[in-house]
Amino acid sequence: MNDTKAGVWKELTTKSTIDIYRRNIQKAYIEALLNLINPANTTTMLITISRGSVNINNINTANTDIPSVVRAHLISLRSEILAASASTTDKLSKYHLQDAAERIKNGLTPKEK
């Protein structure tokens, strides 16, 4: 997950402007991870690739470490986003980072029933 995060969120370390295409990828990244924590149903398709073969399994993510690992990853990412946002000079990049941090916060906050 850290390698993927480093590629998707490289602007957090390079401090470069985030273009529209990268912003869209970053929003999709957050959405995909939040869907692992709060899926529409608890059965998720897990695709693994090993030694040239592709395996597809349906798993109940609620009974795995996936939500715990993803939650920790998103909490860490949010901290990095907030730190980068404070020093970002490009307005649109700053707005995007503020929005991304808020999306993560809202996605990690349990909804009242």
Q: What tens digit of pLDDT does each residue of 46-70 get?
A: 677 777 777 777 767 777 898 899 9
Structural domain span for residue 73: 2-108
76, part of any domain: yes
Residue 87: inside a domain, yes or no?
A: yes
Distance CA 44, CA 51 (A): 23
Q: What is the pLDDT of residue 103?
A: 97
Is 113 within the bounds of a domain?
no
Q: Can you give the pTM of this predicted structure?
A: 0.81
59 vs 45: CA distance, rounded Å: 6
Rounded mean pLDDT, 7-17: 95
Helix ranges, the chain (H): 2-8, 11-14, 20-37, 66-87, 91-108
Q: What is the tally of structural domains in the chain?
A: 1
